[in-house]
Structure 1
Amino acid sequence: MIFRREIVRNLKPLLIWSGIIGGLILLTLAVFPQMAKQQETVGAMIDSLPDAMKKAFGMDRLGMDSLIGYYGIRVYLMPTLVGSIYAAILAGNIVAKESAEKTIEFLLSKPVTRFQVIGQKLLAVIVNLIILNTIIVLAALAGFQFAETSDVSPGTFLLLTLATFFLHLTFASIAFLLSSALRRTRNITSTSLGIVLFSYFLNVISAMSEDLALIKHFSFFHYIDAADIITTNGIDSKYIIVMVSIVIICLATAFSYFKKRDITV
């Protein structure tokens, strides 16, 4: 009951966000054939950029002359950053809105346990993220068809897809914990978005300055860096362990807190 209700309630936002991200991916990939025909001009433009900027966006290791390089430089940011914002908003509101709308007491008066309530809400979040990432993959595959030749390795593209989903799930788990612990949805939304944007900011500035290179380890965006994944054809196992650990800790804490939470306050 709760799961179905959350799927229906969040269907419209899911379609809007999926449409925006999918549309941006398609439009950006549609430009690739023209970019490929003007490689000398594009290459000269990239060479004219500051080294710090090229390093920040992976242009020092990836080339715009290949489809996978173009995807890593220009397209990958859309599903990772914009998708993470959606994941944070979705998970940040899904529990707290019951308190904000004064429906939590009514919901718990039904023959369901608190574990079932929060469990079904979490399941709705995961299903929404799976749908979002499926649409992202379909949009990318459709966009690849604009290219006359494709050098995208299925294995590499799968790694980029898994990395994107892991990133979404990581931010969603943090926002889900905030949603279970806090009551004001406005505070949760702003905090969740702040975490996503701050993490991205750390990744950019750490790449632009050698003096700040150490702080890249505090950015989840560094963990799923497109240039690293494409050039090494893999995701660093220690980063996967960190993200999985954060997801488990945040979700376990969220369940524990919600179980003891005084809903009358």
Structure 2
Amino acid sequence: MNIVLREMRANRKALIIWSLSIIAFVAMGMVKFSSFSAMGEEANEVIEVLPEFMQKAFGFATISLTNIRGYFSIFNMYFILLLGIHASMLGATIIAKEARDKTADFLMVKPITRQQMVTGKVIAAFINLVLLNVVLTVTSIGFVAANNDGESATGAIIAMMGTLLILQCLFFSLGLALSALTKSSKKASSTATGILLAMYILSIAKDLSDNLDFIKYITPFAYFNARDILFNRGIEGVYVVISLVVIIIGLGISYNQYQRKDIL
């Protein structure tokens, strides 16, 4: 428990900064929706003149910019990108920083095993992921409700954020595993971020070509379709299973490596 509280205090400032950034991002996006809504169908006509590849790349191809659910679905890709970066960087540094900051000896003299230490760190990280997700959920519900003239979208937004939390845990486990397999937290962070950005680019490539449909099993950005969730079409269970398998593998690698790794 002491390790959990210690990590919560250590990550408090970063969590506040990320939370404020997320709130600002959603707020600015909703201001743009007000403009599109005022334009009416002219907004959709403007999008239709864009090249098809640009419509698909930015998520405009199958939505109406004057429909709050359709418009909000565009945000999902960016939510995954932003919170994925946060999660992967948190995973890459939460244990490795002890060696970087010369505080590993403080942990090693405590009457706890390495497994307990890793567990405490993972619990603290999960709390951070959940708190950031809650901030995004509450902010999204508030802004969408303020701009919604139809049926409440609260349940759909909660479901969408639930899938986002799964992906946050996936990227965290990836960063944690890379940290366990490398000697430098900086290298682990940059590698995890690089992999995340590569997956983002792959998801865009998948939308641009029907021949690349297999990529949907590779990149987490394609696992959960925000439009399907927001319009109550459900979630495909296979991607939940794939995500959980990746999370378990990432955590398994981390526990195994940190049992033997010199973190002093």
Give, in angstroms, the shift of residue 165 of structure 1: 0.8
**2: distance between equivalents of 1:256 and 1:76?**
34
Q: Which residue of 1 aligns with 2:55?
A: 54
Cα deviation code 1:176-229 (max 9, x no counterpart): 112223221110110010111111110001111223332232110000232343
- Give the aligned length: 263
Q: Which residue of 2 aligns with 1:178?
A: 178
Task: Give the AA of the match of 2:98.
Answer: E
Normalising by the residue count of structure 2, what TM-score does the alignment of the two structures yield? 0.93
Cα deviation code 1:117-157 (max 9, x no counterpart): 10000001100000000000111122124315144433322
Cα deviation code 1:95-132 (max 9, x no counterpart): 11112223223311111111111000000110000000
Task: Give the AA of the match of 2:33.
Answer: F
**2: distance between equivalents of 1:215 and 1:12?**
37
**2: distance between equivalents of 1:237 and 1:53?**
30
- Over the matched positions of the two proteins, sequence identity in percent amounts to 29
Give, in angstroms, the shift of residue 257 of structure 1: 1.4
Local SS of the residue matching 2:146: coil
Task: Give the AA of the match of 1:154.
Answer: T
Normalising by the residue count of structure 1, what TM-score does the alignment of the two structures yield? 0.93
Gap runs ≥5 in structure 2: none
Cα 1:148–1:192 change in 2 (3 A) is closer
Is the contact made by 2:98 and 2:263 (CA closer than 8 Å) also made in structure 1? Answer: no
Is the contact made by 1:25 and 1:78 (CA closer than 8 Å) also made in structure 2? Answer: no
Q: Which residue of 1 aligns with 2:20?
A: 19
Give, in angstroms, the shift of residue 80 of structure 1: 1.5
**2: distance between equivalents of 1:18 and 1:48?**
36
Cα 1:148–1:104 change in 2 (3 A) is closer
**2: distance between equivalents of 1:228 and 1:145?**
19
Cα 1:34–1:262 change in 2 (3 A) is closer
Cα deviation code 1:43-86 (max 9, x no counterpart): 1111112222323343232221211101002x323322111111
1:3 to 2:4 alignment: yes
**2: distance between equivalents of 1:109 and 1:212?**
52
Task: Give the AA of the match of 2:107.
Answer: L
Gap runs ≥5 in structure 1: none
**2: distance between equivalents of 1:238 and 1:184?**
34
Task: Give the AA of the match of 1:191.
Answer: T
